[in-house]
Amino acid sequence: MANSMVLVSLMALGLLMAFSTTTQVEAAARAFFVFGDSLVDNGNNNYLATTARADSPPYGIDTPTRRPTGRFSNGDALGSEPTLPYLSPELRGEKLLVGANFASAGVGILNDTGIQFINIIRMFRQLQYFQEYQTRLAELVGNDEAQRIVSDGLVLITVGGNDFVNNYFLIPFSARSRQFLLPDYVTYLISEYKKILMRLHDLGARRVLVTGTGPLGCVPAERAMRSPNGECAPELQQAASLFNPQLVQMINELNSEYGANIFIAANTQLQTSDFITNPGAYGFTTSKIACCGQGPYNGIGLCTAFSNLCSNRDEYVFWDPFHPSERANGIIVNNIVSGSTNYVSPMNLSTLLALNSDTRT
C-alpha cells in the first residue's frame, strides 16, 4: 500500500483538539464540525472495512493512554472536550452539542479519488451526514436552537491533497491525467471544491476554515518514491503551487458573493514550507526523515509496530511518511489562530471567532 495512504495536504491534525483549548475564551459553547481526509479523521474509519485506518500502534503513542485513537498522529492536544467521530456510537444525547467529525481518511474532492480504499466516507456522504446530524440535533434541542448551534459553530474542511497523490499522480497515465493537463485538472478541482463549500453554506455553516495543500512533494514518502536524490518531487510541488492560489481566489469570490467573510483560507503550504526549508529554526532536527517508517527517509510503506520509530517525536516535522508530527501540528494551529494574513486570509481564526454572530447571512 506504499502509495495508497499518501494523504498529504499537511493540515494540522491537532486542529481537532487544539481549537477548543487555544481559543478557549472565544470558542466557549461553540460547536466544532470537521470534514475532509486523514489529516482530520479522528476515528470514523475505525468503523469501516477499509485499509485507510490508524487504529494500530504506534499511532497514538503520545496520547495519555498511549493507545491509537484512529487519528493519523502520534498524539493529541490535551485538556479539551473531543469532537467525536460521527460514526461513533457514543455520539448521542448532549454530546451532539459539541459538534461532530465527519472526516474519512482517503477521500478527496472528487468521488473517484481514493477508490482503492473502497469503503470510505466520500465528501457528498459527509455532507449528507451533516444534514442527518442536524436532524438528530433538532430532536434534542428543537429546530431553532439546532440552527443556532450550527450557524454559530466553527467548521474545518481539509481536502484536496489526495486528489493529486491518490488520483492524478497515483499511477503513470492515470485516468485523470489522461483526461486533463495539470493546470486544467486544478481548475476542475477548484470548481468542484466550490460546490462543496456552497453546500456547506446551504446547510447553515457560517464560519468555515478551509485549508489548502501543503508542499505535496516534500513529504518523506514522495522523497523516497519519486526523487533519486531525496529532494522534493517537482511535479507534486507544481500541483500545490497551482492549487493553493486558485483556492484562495475562489474563497475570496465566495465571500464577495455572500457579502460576508464566511470562509477563511489557511496557507498551509507556506507554513509547512517554513519547517521544511529551515527546520532548526523551529527546534526540529529533520524535515526529511519520518519518525515512523522504513526505507529511505522512513518514507516507504506504512507506520506499523515493525517500523523504525524515533525516540523523540518532537524533533521530527513528520510523524509518518505522510503526516506531520503533533508538535508540527501545534505550530501550524498557532499560526492559524493568531498569525498574520500571510498564513490565514482574510483574517486569523481569533479574529473570525470574535466577529458578532449578526454577520450571519
**Among residues 212, 225, 224, which one has the least CA distance to residue 186?**
212
User: Quick one: pLDDT at residue 285?
Assistant: 95
Residues recognised as catalytic: 38, 320, 323
**Among residues 209, 238, 41, 208, which one has the least CA distance to residue 123?**
41
User: Quick one: pLDDT at residue 251?
Assistant: 96
Helix, coil or strand: residue 95:
helix
User: Quick one: pLDDT at residue 161?
Assistant: 94
User: Quick one: pLDDT at residue 16?
Assistant: 42
Question: Which DSSP state fits 135?
Answer: H
User: Quick one: pLDDT at residue 29?
Assistant: 62
User: E-strand spans in the chain?
Assistant: 32-36, 99-101, 154-158, 208-211, 263-266, 292-293, 308-309, 344-345
**Among residues 18, 358, 54, which one has the least CA distance to residue 209?**
18
Q: Please count the residues of the chain.
A: 361
User: Quick one: pLDDT at residue 13?
Assistant: 38
Per-position pLDDT tens, the chain of length 361: 333 333 333 333 344 444 444 444 344 468 999 999 988 888 999 999 998 887 788 988 877 878 877 777 776 643 345 789 999 999 999 999 999 999 999 999 999 999 999 899 999 999 999 999 999 999 999 999 999 999 999 999 999 999 999 999 999 999 999 999 999 999 999 999 999 999 999 999 999 999 988 889 999 999 999 988 889 999 999 999 999 999 999 999 999 999 999 999 987 777 778 888 899 999 999 999 999 999 999 999 889 999 999 999 999 999 999 888 989 888 888 888 888 888 888 888 888 777 654 444 4
Give the Cα separation of 39 and 206 in Å (integer). Answer: 22
Cβ(197)–Cβ(208) under 8 Å? Answer: yes
User: Quick one: pLDDT at residue 56?
Assistant: 84
Model's pTM, two decimal places?
A: 0.89
The single residue listed with the C-alpha cell 470510505 is 120
Helices (H) and strands (E) in the chain, counts: 11, 8
CB-based contacts of 269, cutoff 8 Å, min separation 6: 10, 212, 213, 214, 215, 240, 241, 244
